[in-house]
A and B are shown apart, each in its own frame.
Chain A
Amino acid sequence: MLGALCVHAFALDGATMKYQVVIGLEVHTQLTTNTKIFCGCSTKFGSEPNSQTCPVCLGFPGALPVLNRQVVEYAIRAGLATNCSITQRNVFARKNYFYPDLPKGYQISQFDLPICQHGHLDIEVEGETKRIGITRIHMEEDAGKLVHADISEVGDDSCVDLNRACTPLLEIVSEPDMRSPDEAIAYLKKLHQIVMYLGICDGNLEEGSFRCDANVSLMPVGSTVFGTRAELKNINSFKFIKQAIEYEIERQAEILDDGGKVIQETRLFDPNTGTTRSMRGKEEAHDYRYFPDPDLVPVLIADQWIEDVRAELPELPEAKRARYVAELGLPEYDAEVLASSRELAQYYEETVALFPQAKIVSNWVMGEVARALNDDNNRSITDCPVTPALLADLLKLMEKGTISGKIAKTVFDEMYKTGKAPEKIVEEKGLVQVSDTGAIEAMVDEVLNNNPGQVEQYRGGKETVFGFFVGQVMRASKGKANPAVVNELLLKKLKA
């Protein structure tokens, strides 16, 4: 019996490994086109079952598929962003098998001529950079889904919802280049980040917009011949993918340790137990009888089209991060965090454009902005009530000395709640910083007079008491005193 703890320990303790892990990943990304890949039906998620269907995606007799050009464009984007070569003559093939959620009895996919080939992504694991090969990216249609209802209305029957049938997918197939669960997750997260950056996938794992099959095998350390692999199907979170791979490594290692043979099969991950179980063996493997789909003419992609797509590619996270470090002088950590999502980076860049102090803006975006959004039910940066313009205005007020950094945080919270301009909030709440030397001097005198003991301590050499005086003065001013002036006056008086 394998416990979760044991799996964990095993995976962490690489030193005891007799086996080399080999992992290859197949990722299905659902594209964010408005319409399906071969018909004009909507791809919106969560509609009434079968409400988004037509004779084409229902596979009705006589209906014919017509390719959505946007899908090709998205595939080219994905290929260019992952360093692939773009196949200029594309052929769609039929993958034949029977299943109730597959209306035509075949899936239209690409077979021997996928649109993108021979690419790679660089990942970083524990400070090391590693290159993971991408074998191919191909376009295909999704199937529908079965709803196994046990409600009385339909008895034991299963229902078919074909809203998802014929929605466009890119299948991104890696080389078996990953050697640990961490590498697999790093690769997946990177890919996830890229497809979202490209605007071709919403990246929603739970809704199945980004789903992953993992091929896992073990071979003795030093061997060059891959072991027999198991395929782990359709796992819908990064955490589960990691768990599934870890479990699978443990399971296969035990079989091999006992002198047994791993059988090639498809396995399902059960998130409740953290284990995988057999779904179907190789003996039931399909003969898909692939052949070119005679209903679709080959898609020819001209050089110009590829160049047009390349010209419109957004700056990708890696390039962005490097630029933040080189041009804006941000620390690596800040650059990494800000470049991690296209929306966050955009917010940051818009703010910097209005308030060109890169590090201050970074502190605020990663600090107050992130915190506020997080507290607000993980709200998206795209609907942050404090827009880049408002944030820049706030930072300008701080820079001018109108408000202190501390007051700025109060103002920010108010802006987040009300969406009001910072000047207005400062004015309404009377938060303007007091820099008037006379007023502050009076408060300083009062604090020193009221605390003779501490004054004595300070003068006796205990300089840490200084912070106490500053705090007292700020408190007396209700936070509005200019800290620089406070410091200056305190020093003058104490040294006097």
Chain B
Amino acid sequence: MEIFDLTIHELHDKLKAKEVSSVEATRAMLDRIEAVDGQVNAYITVTPEQALVEAEAADRRIAAGDIAPLTGIPMGLKDIFITKGIRTTCGSRILENFVPPYDGTAVAKLKEQGAVIVGKLNQDEFAMGSSNESSYFGPVKNPWNLECTPGGSSGGSAAAIAARTATATLGTDTGGSIRQPASHCSCVGVKPTYGRVSRYGVIAYASSLDQVGPLTRDVTDAALLLGAVAGYDPKDSTSVNTPVPDYLAGLKSGGKGLKIGLPKQYFIEGLDPDVKRAMDEAIALYKSLGAELREVSLPHTEYAVATYYLIATAEASSNLARYDGVRFGHRADEIRGLKEMYAKTRAEGFGSEVKRRIMLGTYALSSGYYDAYYVKAQKVRTLIMQDFLNAFNEVDVLLTPIAPTPPFKIGEKLADPLQMYLSDIFTIPVNLAGTCGISIPAGFSAAGLPIGLQLIGKPFGEATILSTAYAFEQETQWHLKKAPL
């Protein structure tokens, strides 16, 4: 087994036992990136010099007997995370050469533990997309089939796990952007409860929906990495001040006696047969483990996508106003006057998906339409939230598919944005409800493409979904399969 194949906890054991050094692990990872990333395009920026300096520091720390779970582990970050001194593009031309002057909270927490950042990962521009085709830096290819998309918007983060060019990565999930690519790339991805992880230093797409989470090779790593970044942050007033449980210690408690809900609105006609089969097998497995499965109803599910696209675009239209060419990032050349500077800078800097969403959001917030669209969407959002709370009065977790289909081909849905938006139909409600969900590998299609399974938990029920996922992982081999790369 190569060093780059190892999980966080496996590599940690070897670092601790001094069987391998962080410098060796980091070099191995950088070599692997060099060897395969040309095919995958998961990285926008690779930082070999800085990574090796950090690895040396980690090795000194380990030598001194001071090793935290992430010390010396080579990691990649979605390029939405602000990193001091490392260019941060958010997948956009408008930030092509932007080098931030500060670190965000999640990044600072990783650095405190001595994690090694090997680079910044490709993503849909400003996290807008479900296929990673809207990045200014080109599409990411799915390591399981280079003709397919890895999903989006954290497609680079998921693909790097599958291509084994990062031990673990952080992504963000606004409408499924961690879980859906995790599913498409056969890795584990967690969307924590809104407020569980600080958003300080994460470039905002839709502030009330965005949440930071881990993408990893297995559930143990997910528990570990989530524990490392979770917690109250005084710099983010939406972060919640409740204690962070020891997710790792709680992993083995899942499965037996658990009440699992199957939302009937998620198991509809038209679900891809391969996905349907994987779900049936998962349900059977949980039954065999002693879980109680029952049907529940989330009656407002059909409105989720429309609601999401009103709220997310409204917030995005405002969040993206700061990219105006005044203080940082791209500014158009040969401009005459202020209005032209704004118009030309933004016309050149943003791609078409971003422009489409800014226009949608601007329209939804404009006077005369605000009540009909934005306010109405907020009301529906409350109903969707209530659906989940009602369901959780009956069951401990919900089991659903992640996506209606296995990964699709690059370019297949580009011409039809509405079709593309529907690919997040099973993940979006969790963001609207503000609760937590996890995606875990649950099988492969006939064509050999990954299929993920979603477990949805109560607000701050991360420990429960992690232990439920862990029980599944213990009985299956899906997470051990390697992409043919």
A residues at B contact (CB < 8 Å): 55, 58-67, 94, 96, 98, 100, 103-106, 160, 287, 289-291, 294-297
Contacts and interface: CB of A to CB of B under 8 A. Distances in A.
A63 B88 CA distance: 14
Given A67-B237, A105-B324, A297-B238, A62 B82 contact: yes
Interface string B192-204: 0000000111111
Contacts of B88: 61
Interface in B33-77: none
B326 A160 contact: yes
Given A62-B202, A98-B324, A55 B315 contact: no
A341 B82 CA distance: 49
Interface stretch (B94-102, B150-158, B387-395): B94-102
B166 interface: no
Given A64-B236, A65-B237, A66-B234, A106 B321 contact: yes
Given A66-B235, A67-B237, A103-B327, A60 B100 contact: yes
B267 interface: no
Given A100-B324, A105-B321, 5 more contacts: A60-B322, A61-B90, A62-B104, A289-B362, A294-B238
A104 B237 contact: no
Contact of B338 (A55, A100, A103, A105): A100
B350 to A, nearest CB: 13
Contacts of B100: 55, 60-62
B222 interface: no
Nearest to A288: B367
A294 B101 contact: no
Secondary structure class of chain B's binding surface, majority of residues: loop
Contacts, number: 101
Given A96-B365, A98-B342, A64 B237 contact: yes
A295 B238 contact: yes
A295 B194 CA distance: 12
A63 B98 CA distance: 15
Nearest to B365: A289
B208 interface: yes
B236 A294 contact: no
A293 to B, nearest CB: 8
Given A98-B342, A294-B207, A55 B322 contact: no
B235 A64 contact: yes
A253 B217 CA distance: 77
Contact of B237 (A61, A94, A287, A297): A297
Interface in B294-335: 314-315, 317-318, 320-322, 324, 326-328
Contacts of B315: 294
B372 to A, nearest CB: 14
18 contacts: A55-B100, A59-B322, A60-B102, A61-B322, A62-B200, A62-B201, A65-B237, A94-B318, A98-B324, A100-B338, A105-B318, A106-B321, A160-B327, A289-B318, A291-B370, A295-B238, A297-B237, A297-B238
A104 B101 contact: no
Contacts of A295: 204, 207, 237-238
A297 B236 CA distance: 10
A96 B321 contact: yes
A100 B338 CA distance: 8
A160 B328 CA distance: 13
Contact of B374 (A55, A65, A103, A291): A291
Interface of B: 81-82, 88, 90, 95, 98, 100-102, 104, 199-204, 206-208, 234-238, 314-315, 317-318, 320-322, 324, 326-328, 338, 342, 362, 365-367, 370, 374
Contacts of B98: 61
A107 to B, nearest CB: 11
B301 to A, nearest CB: 23
Contact of A66 (B237, B318, B321): B237
A168 to B, nearest CB: 16
A55 B90 contact: no
Contacts of A294: 206-208, 238, 315
B314 A64 contact: no
Nearest to B367: A287
A279 B101 CA distance: 38
Contacts of B324: 98, 100, 105
Nearest to A38: B237
B237 A296 contact: yes
Contacts of B314: 291
A104 B318 CA distance: 8
A103 B328 CA distance: 11
A289 B367 contact: yes
Nearest to B199: A64
A283 B195 CA distance: 42
Given A55-B102, A294-B315, A297-B237, A103 B322 contact: yes
Count chain B CB atoms within 10 A of each CB in A59, A105, A289 and give the residue with the most: A289
A61 B367 contact: no
A61 B200 CA distance: 10
Given A66-B235, A289-B365, A297-B238, A60 B326 contact: no
A106 B206 CA distance: 15
A60 B203 CA distance: 9
Contacts of B203: 61-62
B236 A58 contact: no
Count chain B CB atoms within 10 A of each CB in A63, A66, A100 and give the residue with the most: A63
Contacts of A63: 102, 200-201
A59 B365 CA distance: 21
A94 B342 CA distance: 20
